[in-house]
Structure 1
Amino acid sequence: MIRSLYTTISGMITQQAKQDVITNNMSNANTVGFKGDNLAIRKFNDVLIQNQSKIYNGVNYTQTIGNLSFGSRIDETATDFTQGNIESTDSDTDFAIDGRGFFTVSRDNGTTAQNYYTRDGHFHVNMQGYLVNDSGDYVMGRNINSGNVERINVGNGKITSDIYGNINIDGTPAYAFQTVDFNNYNTLKKVGDNLYQGENPIANNNIFVKQKSLEESNINPVNEMVNMMSTMRTFETQQKIVQSIDQTLGQAIDVGTVR
């Protein structure tokens, strides 16, 4: 009876975690370049059930009855990197990557600068003339003249880009977006603000960039709503099972009580 209680409660915990993932996906359905998450669930390792050993005529006999699972557990949260739809805008500082790859942005962390990666190309020019994202992180590019990777400084000029991410300012070649890719997207980690951390980025020079465009999130609200309803019903069913087990245990205690 206690085992069934553990099994059911473990299922409720995983369903609650799944609900949190679905809620986060739905809340970011309109976030530019957002990639949805999926919760992978696996069962606990089965416990082998055997009867007690018996010795007969000097031989030790043990009979295997079968396996018993103690329920489910959270395995990992995997991100779906399927591309979202690309929609046109009227802003010169909106960019979308068509295909694989990420923009590189730099964030000042006190005394050091840390690079992050994003599919969110909703940029703007700050007061100092630098191209930044909505969080104020600097968009990185390769300077055409020096070859150095640095913050893209637009100044008061007009920015234009070709499909390969080469940037002109007032018609003069100036930068190329510092775009990267990864051999294994499973190594990428979400760090908030629609940014990722990743090891061993590879320069992606064959990228396709669309100006005056933004990539929508890859969330399908209808599918997420269906998943949410299914998760809630599963949780409610498990909750009723726990209540039933609790009532049964209470009755067993009453029967065994000496009055």
Structure 2
Amino acid sequence: MNHSMINASVSMNGLQQKLDILANNIANINTVGYKRKDASFQEILTSVKNQPEKFQLPGRMTPSGLQLGWGARLSQISSDFTQGPVENTQNSLDLMVQGDGMFEILVDGKPYWTKSGSFQLSVMPGNQGLALTTKDGHYVSGLNGEPIILPPNTQPKIDEQGNVVAYSETGARPVQVGRIRVVQIERPQLLEAVGENFYTLKAGIEKGQALRDAAGLTVQEQGKLKVMQGYLEQSNVNLPDEMTELINVQRAFQLSSRAVTSSDSMMGLANNLRG
């Protein structure tokens, strides 16, 4: 396989990955708290073809030798954590974090983080209370790393710091049941997106390197992170921008495909001439 065909084939592979990312963004345009993904590419090893000394003529401004590239490959998929549109749902179980913060969710006892605050109350085994959970039944973590549990027949009222107070439908005295663990995003590049709109730490990364507990922030820093009850943060995907980028990538993919076809035709002509 000649150089031009390799270059075009490698480019097609990278462009296909870019198309997959754009398609995923568009598919999640209505997903609560979804953060659009973007792809970064890096050049594959470049080789230099040496030229004879006679090419180094007086007055030449460029260095001798020809640089031969081999296309580009996907190097990183990053998330854009800019805040999405805010929707007022007036539902006491809908929450959002205003600012660079996320909710901590417990999945099989392991912490994950999400911008999606569409929660519900799930009955605990033995009717021991009501747990604040995601729609899939994963527990919302409190400051102590345990689920937020409300007494039966109560509804939560949550302040800007994430403190949860249970109010009884019978008019009994309100009970503070805990505080939702909210984390501030310090280094988003150290987070990795996983399924169910969750984020986890990349391999070898400690929590303190990427995230900070909101409870440990100064009063001024905490003022930038507010838990808002009755609101949801929607996806930050901008459909016109994604469609424009999709068209550009499709055109680049078609161009690379034609380059492979042209290279194959030229190789066929060269073989026939030799024959």
Normalising TM by the smaller chain, what interval? 0.7 to 0.9
Q: Does 1:175 align with 2:178?
A: yes
Question: Match of 2:100?
Answer: 100
In 1, the alpha carbon distance for the partners of 2:112 and 2:162 equals 18
In 2, the alpha carbon distance for the partners of 1:97 and 1:237 equals 43
Question: Match of 2:155?
Answer: 158
Retained in 1: the 8 A contact 2:102–2:114? yes
One-letter code aligned to 1:227: E
In 1, the alpha carbon distance for the partners of 2:102 and 2:153 equals 26
One-letter code aligned to 2:135: D
Question: Match of 2:115?
Answer: 119
One-letter code aligned to 2:249: T
One-letter code aligned to 1:161: I
Report the CA distance between 1:237 and its aligned residue: 1.3
In 1, the alpha carbon distance for the partners of 2:65 and 2:145 equals 65
Report the CA distance between 1:150 and its aligned residue: 1.6
- Choose the corresponding residue for 1:222, options 240, 243, 247: 240
Q: Does 1:27 align with 2:27?
A: yes
In 1, the alpha carbon distance for the partners of 2:233 and 2:195 equals 18
Report the CA distance between 1:66 and its aligned residue: 2.7
In 2, the alpha carbon distance for the partners of 1:132 and 1:193 equals 14
Report the CA distance between 1:156 and its aligned residue: 2.4
| RMSD, matched Cα | 1.7
Question: Match of 2:214?
Answer: 204
The superposition leaves residues 92-135 of structure 1 with CA deviations (integer Å, 9 ceiling, x where unpaired) of 11001000111111111xxxx11111111000011321111022
The superposition leaves residues 154-208 of structure 1 with CA deviations (integer Å, 9 ceiling, x where unpaired) of 2321111112211110133221111112321111111210111123232113130
In 2, the alpha carbon distance for the partners of 1:102 and 1:179 equals 6
One-letter code aligned to 1:186: Q
In 2, the alpha carbon distance for the partners of 1:182 and 1:252 equals 57
Report the CA distance between 1:52 and its aligned residue: 6.2
One-letter code aligned to 2:155: K
> SS state of the match for residue 9, structure 2?
helix
Q: Does 1:246 align with 2:264?
A: yes
Using the aligned pairs only, state the percent identity: 28
Question: Match of 1:51?
Answer: 51
Unaligned runs of 5+ in 1: 55-62, 143-147
Question: Match of 1:87?
Answer: 87
Report the CA distance between 1:53 and its aligned residue: 8.4
In 2, the alpha carbon distance for the partners of 1:66 and 1:251 equals 25
Retained in 1: the 8 A contact 2:84–2:234? yes
One-letter code aligned to 1:79: S
Question: Match of 2:127?
Answer: none
Report the CA distance between 1:247 and its aligned residue: 0.9
In 1, the alpha carbon distance for the partners of 2:147 and 2:264 equals 62
> SS state of the match for residue 64, structure 1?
coil
> SS state of the match for residue 167, structure 1?
strand
> SS state of the match for residue 168, structure 1?
strand
In 2, the alpha carbon distance for the partners of 1:166 and 1:86 equals 21
